[in-house]
Structure 1
Amino acid sequence: MSGKKKSLLQTTMAVTLVIFVSKAGGFLREIVMTAYYGAGTEMDAYNMAYSLYYVPVLLFNSCITSTLVPLYVQLQKDGPPRRLDRFGSNVINLFAVFSLAVSFFMFWLAGSLVRLTAQGFDPGKQALTTELLRRMLPSLPFLVTSIVLSSILNAREKYLAAQLTGFPLTFALLIATIGFSRSHGIHALTWGVFVSGILQVVILLPAMKGLMKYRLSFDLSDPVFRRLMALAGPAVLSMAVNELNHMVDKMLATGLPEGHLSCMSLAFRLITFLVGVVLVPLETITFSRMSMRTASHDHKGVGKIVRQCAELVALVIFPVIVVGAVMSKDVIRLAYRHGVFSEDSVSTAAYALLFYIVGVFSFGMRDILNRAFHACQDTRTPMINAMATVALNILLNVLLVRVMGVGGLALATSLSATVGALSLLMLLRRKIGRFRGRRTLEELIKTGIAAALCAFVCIVLDRVMPPAQNSMGSFIRLVAGTGASFIAYIAAALALRVRQIDVAKDMILKKLGR
């Protein structure tokens, strides 16, 4: 096996470990918050407020991460260090100012935004949502600054340091929930969000030492910054329409019985946890590497990275999809059946999880393919694809929510993501040429056969084992079902000579032989 493949796998595993610890902490945070607040009116208001607050975060994140890394890599290759320092400082300062302006604007329009997006809430619930949103907004400039710093670290291939920003939010919200929920109620969480924004900047400063010399510059005429903003426009629109889709999901969910919005949000957070642990490390590493290939005009190298990503994602995700779909109630019960979270809520969240999880592979490939276009400094194609995908998603939402409730909203998301990923794949092939997709398809088929055996074992065990009555029962069922299913999956993958599992096997044997 090639050293480059092993290097990609090794680096991905190291970053995955850091992100797993971060996401596991975030998962613990969600469990504690659910135990303290349940899935009622207050959590519905908090979830909606946080969703609105996070829209500009995601827009800035899309604008910065999709454009800064390839431009920074290009400038690092072609320009002097002083020019690189000036560009990095300029981006930090200007985006801090932009995000501060957005904070003031959203604070002023908070009531109107809530009334528009949470039409199913009663006036009291809308007022609470507005108040929570306004308390969160002052942290936005700090959060945006941390996004810029993380992007610079990724461009410099300091991947581990860039992933530290997930820890402050978990720490701050756990302290707020456990220490202040009784005295301040749901408002304690907003203080946690504010403090975490500041901590995310502080935690990255030591890693930035020696990488750049900060300058107090605000140069809107900088040609590289102007290029960044030109590329950012389509990237922001792409993320905006995706967030519009999520807001439509939530708007439709507000018309469902009380608590269904929170249950859907909890199920989607499990998917976010899974994507964050498995896919974000790979996406982060490959984005900077694809940017380097593009800077060297190596389009074949970009295609090779995409192939490796597809095979790695399939190898890891397929068995997780199987277990998550077959044992969705056990997953939800183990994660959230604490405190005031009821068994009815377990059933609702599990129903949503079932239809979300079938689309995880598509979610991952869509993001990786988007990154491939961004590395080529093409943000327009992903934008057009996102608009078409969201239009399809909204149409499916309206059709399916009437007959399937939260399950219909989740299924619409998965189906539209699959269509979007396939479209991007065909468009990328046109852009960079053929990249030996037939061989990758053969690997995906072999991985799918191994996953089918995994599904058979999991279904049999799910029916044989006694139903769980509590979280401990679900834990035992999941350990037994996951363990046996994964053993069958790995054995089948080894027998079928799945390429990426051979890479992992060789790497492990090499480590053990030292």
Structure 2
Amino acid sequence: MSNTKSLAKAASVIMVATLVGRFVGFIREMVIANQFGASAHTDAYVVAYTIPSMVAMALAGAFNAAFLPVFNDYLVSRDRGEANNLANTTINLVAVFFITLITAAFVLSPYIVKLLAPGFDRASLALTAKLFRIILPALLFIGLMGLISAILNSYRHFLFPALGPMITSLVTIGFVLALGRRWGIASLAAGTMVGFAAQFLFQLPVMWKKGFQYRLIISWSHPGVKKTLWLMLPVVLGVIIGQAPVFVERGLASTLEAGSISALNYANRVMQLPLGLFVAAISIPVFPALSVYASKREYGLLKETLIRGISLFFLILVPAAVGLLTLNKPIIKLLFEHGEFTVHNTVVTANALAYYALAIIPWALRDILTRSFYALQDTVTPVLIAAVGAMATVLFDLLLVKIMGVGGLALGLALGLSVNVLILYVYLRRKLGEIFPAHWLLTLGKIISAGAVMALVTAVLYNLLGSYVPDSSRQGLLLKILLAGAAGVLVYFFGLLLLKVREIADLTGLIIKLKDKMLKSR
């Protein structure tokens, strides 16, 4: 029981810290939009930041999936000194690797940015290379942070690693506000680099408090290091494959009008808000249950749990997707259209957001289906399927960008993710048998029908409110969005009750459990 309470408390700490971090991160995006808009300069920054952000994603997953269990084994089964030796060796190897990588990338930066943004003109390429070199040292801090976070998690300390992204965002905001007018877009790059350094330093006192002692040792033959590297390879490969379409998307966007890359980035940030909150809220309680049932070979209960998780995704994310789809332009206008962010920037970004909204459901389904394979201790199949999904996304991007511009690139992601989900489902069904019973398909139809009615009500009411509530002020615009959105959500859930969708009880139970966990963790 105490272990269950400990896990619940850890989960609630991570979720609250993640929510706070995402909120501050979104404030950062609003500050950037106000200061620099969506322009050739912000395009250059987004491209320059692409590689560090991909490395951060890869290492966060890799160290938690590979180093953490190995370090835990040494911590529990052997003496603490041997665990410290493993940690020190790994830290030093990571430092050597990234210092070498940074040096090489600094020299080759003009060629790297040309590869990432082939459509940029000479001035944009020069600016991107400059920003890339400013950000590059952050790679060292990102690498070390991923490792230190895994070590702290092994010591059952979750708060500081979870708060780390907030530190980076706050430092970046400070740099932009203090130096934006003097340094221009370089202030954003410098703030990003210093922000990651601050995030790294933020975690060191906790490491020392936990009894960790740093030593300058490197043991290439350490069995723990070899095991960690072996476990990391498929995880890193999976992340790289998953991020490949991002490189292609930004490369193709670089051939469009200036500001297109930034518009995609802003729209993607808005799309990630519901995903970041609700996917974590559902995955945290569902994944351990999937793993337990898989280990006991209770596949009937595993499928039942999977169906409940997917049902919750649809219940929560359908209204989120509908809201972003029907209110895309007013949402972007409210969040970003101030300072240097122009009306034209709003139109382009809203267009991207409308199609990104279609990616919300397949994105969440990919997450839970992939976790189902992990619960079955199959990490290879999802990587291979991710490669096919990535190729599909790239193909759709190449076809649609010529017809639809920025919107085509966003739609390409939604279609590519849908291909990924379809293949995951086919292969999972081969392992488990038929997953979705006929009555669940009827439930899905009811949820989609309620979502369609919500879309109609939201769009019509927003337009009707235009006659009574002017959107010339931010307050008026916010009021219209809230009224239309709230009415749409109420109609959606009333429709679900009218159609007798039983999964509403699961959603209510999840909300109550999350509320209780957060209250108990205080």
Moved more, 37-46 or 500-509: 500-509
Q: Which residue is equivalent to 2:116?
A: 117
What is the alpha-carbon distance in structure 2 between the residues aligned to residue 199 and residue 327 of structure 1? 37
Q: Offset of 1:129 from its aligned partner?
A: 0.4
The structure-2 alpha-carbon separation of the partners of 1:120 and 1:403, relative to structure 1 and needing over 3 Å to count, comes to same
Q: Which residue is equivalent to 1:502?
A: 508
Q: Which residue is equivalent to 2:251?
A: 251
Q: Offset of 1:370 from its aligned partner?
A: 3.2
Q: Which residue is equivalent to 2:400?
A: 400
What is the alpha-carbon distance in structure 1 between the residues aligned to residue 478 and residue 126 of structure 2? 39
Q: Offset of 1:76 from its aligned partner?
A: 6.7
Q: Which residue is equivalent to 1:341?
A: 341
Q: Which residue is equivalent to 2:314?
A: 314
What is the alpha-carbon distance in structure 2 between the residues aligned to residue 374 and residue 508 of structure 1? 24
Q: Which amino acid aligns with 2:59?
A: F
What is the alpha-carbon distance in structure 2 between the residues aligned to residue 79 and residue 372 of structure 1? 32
Do 1:16 and 1:278's aligned partners in 2 also have CA atoms closer than 8 Å? no
Moved more, 120-129 or 195-204: 195-204
What secondary structure is seen at the aligned counterpart in 2 of 1:496?
Answer: coil
Q: Offset of 1:120 from its aligned partner?
A: 1.3
What is the alpha-carbon distance in structure 1 between the residues aligned to residue 76 and residue 447 of structure 2? 38
Q: Which amino acid aligns with 2:29?
A: E
What is the alpha-carbon distance in structure 1 between the residues aligned to residue 461 and residue 496 of structure 2? 20
Q: Which residue is equivalent to 2:362?
A: 362
Once the two structures are superposed, what CA deviation does each residue of 1:172-206 show, in whole Å capped at 9, x if it has no partner? Answer: 11111110111111111122112111221233345
Q: Which amino acid aligns with 2:492?
A: Y
What is the alpha-carbon distance in structure 1 between the residues aligned to residue 362 and residue 23 of structure 2? 23
Q: Which residue is equivalent to 1:134?
A: 133
Once the two structures are superposed, what CA deviation does each residue of 1:234-292 show, in whole Å capped at 9, x if it has no partner? Answer: 322222233221111111111112222221221112223332233245556766x4797
What is the alpha-carbon distance in structure 2 between the residues aligned to residue 383 and residue 509 of structure 1? 35
What secondary structure is seen at the aligned counterpart in 2 of 1:359?
Answer: helix
Q: Which residue is equivalent to 2:185?
A: 186
Moved more, 106-115 or 264-273: 264-273
Q: Which residue is equivalent to 2:418?
A: 418
Moved more, 372-381 or 130-139: 372-381
The structure-2 alpha-carbon separation of the partners of 1:370 and 1:417, relative to structure 1 and needing over 3 Å to count, comes to same
Q: Which residue is equivalent to 1:58?
A: 57
Q: Offset of 1:31 from its aligned partner?
A: 0.8
Q: Does 1:489 align with 2:498?
A: no
Q: Which amino acid aligns with 1:164?
A: L
Q: How is 1:196-211 mapped onto 2 (pairs within 5 angstroms)?
A: 196-208=195-207
Q: Which residue is equivalent to 2:175?
A: 176
Once the two structures are superposed, what CA deviation does each residue of 1:215-242 show, in whole Å capped at 9, x if it has no partner? Answer: 5353333334323322322322222233
Q: Offset of 1:141 from its aligned partner?
A: 1.4
Q: Which amino acid aligns with 1:489?
A: Y
Do 1:235 and 1:380's aligned partners in 2 also have CA atoms closer than 8 Å? no
Q: Which amino acid aligns with 2:476?
A: G
Do 2:373 and 2:379's aligned partners in 1 also have CA atoms closer than 8 Å? yes
Q: Which amino acid aligns with 1:423?
A: I
Do 1:73 and 1:291's aligned partners in 2 also have CA atoms closer than 8 Å? no
Q: Which runs of 5+ in 2 are unaligned?
A: none
What is the alpha-carbon distance in structure 2 between the residues aligned to residue 72 and residue 286 of structure 1? 25
What secondary structure is seen at the aligned counterpart in 1 of 2:136?
Answer: helix
What is the alpha-carbon distance in structure 2 between the residues aligned to residue 204 and residue 299 of structure 1? 41
Do 1:86 and 1:214's aligned partners in 2 also have CA atoms closer than 8 Å? no
Moved more, 471-480 or 129-138: 471-480
The structure-2 alpha-carbon separation of the partners of 1:205 and 1:496, relative to structure 1 and needing over 3 Å to count, comes to same
What is the alpha-carbon distance in structure 2 between the residues aligned to residue 304 and residue 318 of structure 1? 21
Once the two structures are superposed, what CA deviation does each residue of 1:379-415 show, in whole Å capped at 9, x if it has no partner? Answer: 3222211211111111111111111111111001011
Do 1:169 and 1:197's aligned partners in 2 also have CA atoms closer than 8 Å? yes
Q: Does 1:477 align with 2:480?
A: yes
Q: Which residue is equivalent to 2:35?
A: 36
Q: Which residue is equivalent to 1:95?
A: 94
Q: Which amino acid aligns with 2:465?
A: M
What secondary structure is seen at the aligned counterpart in 2 of 1:229?
Answer: helix
Do 2:293 and 2:302's aligned partners in 1 also have CA atoms closer than 8 Å? yes
Q: Which amino acid aligns with 1:501?
A: L
Do 1:43 and 1:262's aligned partners in 2 also have CA atoms closer than 8 Å? yes
Q: Offset of 1:214 from its aligned partner?
A: 4.4
What secondary structure is seen at the aligned counterpart in 2 of 1:358?
Answer: helix
Q: Offset of 1:490 from its aligned partner?
A: 3.5
What secondary structure is seen at the aligned counterpart in 2 of 1:219?
Answer: coil
Q: Which amino acid aligns with 2:481?
A: L
Do 1:271 and 1:356's aligned partners in 2 also have CA atoms closer than 8 Å? yes
TM norm structure 2: 0.85
What is the alpha-carbon distance in structure 2 between the residues aligned to residue 81 and residue 14 of structure 1? 26
What secondary structure is seen at the aligned counterpart in 2 of 1:120?
Answer: coil
Q: Does 1:237 align with 2:260?
A: no
What is the alpha-carbon distance in structure 2 between the residues aligned to residue 482 and residue 200 of structure 1? 37
Number of positions where the alignment pairs a residue of Structure 1 with one of Structure 2 = 511
Q: Which amino acid aligns with 1:503?
A: G
The structure-2 alpha-carbon separation of the partners of 1:99 and 1:309, relative to structure 1 and needing over 3 Å to count, comes to farther
The structure-2 alpha-carbon separation of the partners of 1:294 and 1:95, relative to structure 1 and needing over 3 Å to count, comes to farther
What secondary structure is seen at the aligned counterpart in 2 of 1:331?
Answer: helix
The structure-2 alpha-carbon separation of the partners of 1:491 and 1:254, relative to structure 1 and needing over 3 Å to count, comes to same
What is the alpha-carbon distance in structure 1 between the residues aligned to residue 474 and residue 186 of structure 2? 29
What is the alpha-carbon distance in structure 1 between the residues aligned to residue 84 and residue 306 of structure 2? 31
Q: How is 1:147-186 mapped onto 2 (pairs within 5 angstroms)?
A: 147-154=146-153, 158-186=157-185
What is the alpha-carbon distance in structure 2 between the residues aligned to residue 156 and residue 442 of structure 1? 46
Q: Which residue is equivalent to 2:384?
A: 384
The structure-2 alpha-carbon separation of the partners of 1:363 and 1:77, relative to structure 1 and needing over 3 Å to count, comes to farther
Q: Which amino acid aligns with 2:137?
A: P
Q: Offset of 1:162 from its aligned partner?
A: 3.1
Do 1:19 and 1:281's aligned partners in 2 also have CA atoms closer than 8 Å? no
Do 1:154 and 1:284's aligned partners in 2 also have CA atoms closer than 8 Å? no
Do 2:334 and 2:477's aligned partners in 1 also have CA atoms closer than 8 Å? yes
Once the two structures are superposed, what CA deviation does each residue of 1:454-485 show, in whole Å capped at 9, x if it has no partner? Answer: 33432331332217345433311211122222
Q: Which amino acid aligns with 1:202?
A: L
What is the alpha-carbon distance in structure 1 between the residues aligned to residue 16 and residue 463 of structure 2? 33
Q: Which amino acid aligns with 1:497?
A: R
Q: Offset of 1:7 from its aligned partner?
A: 10
What is the alpha-carbon distance in structure 1 between the residues aligned to residue 321 and residue 501 of structure 2? 20
What is the alpha-carbon distance in structure 2 between the residues aligned to residue 166 and residue 275 of structure 1? 17
Moved more, 325-334 or 103-112: 103-112
What is the alpha-carbon distance in structure 1 between the residues aligned to residue 54 and residue 443 of structure 2? 37
Q: How is 1:219-238 mapped onto 2 (pairs within 5 angstroms)?
A: 219-238=219-238
Moved more, 369-378 or 26-35: 369-378
Q: Which amino acid aligns with 2:483?
A: A
Moved more, 126-135 or 297-306: 297-306
Q: Which amino acid aligns with 1:365?
A: L
The percentage of aligned residue pairs carrying the same residue is 27
Do 1:159 and 1:285's aligned partners in 2 also have CA atoms closer than 8 Å? no
Do 1:232 and 1:379's aligned partners in 2 also have CA atoms closer than 8 Å? no
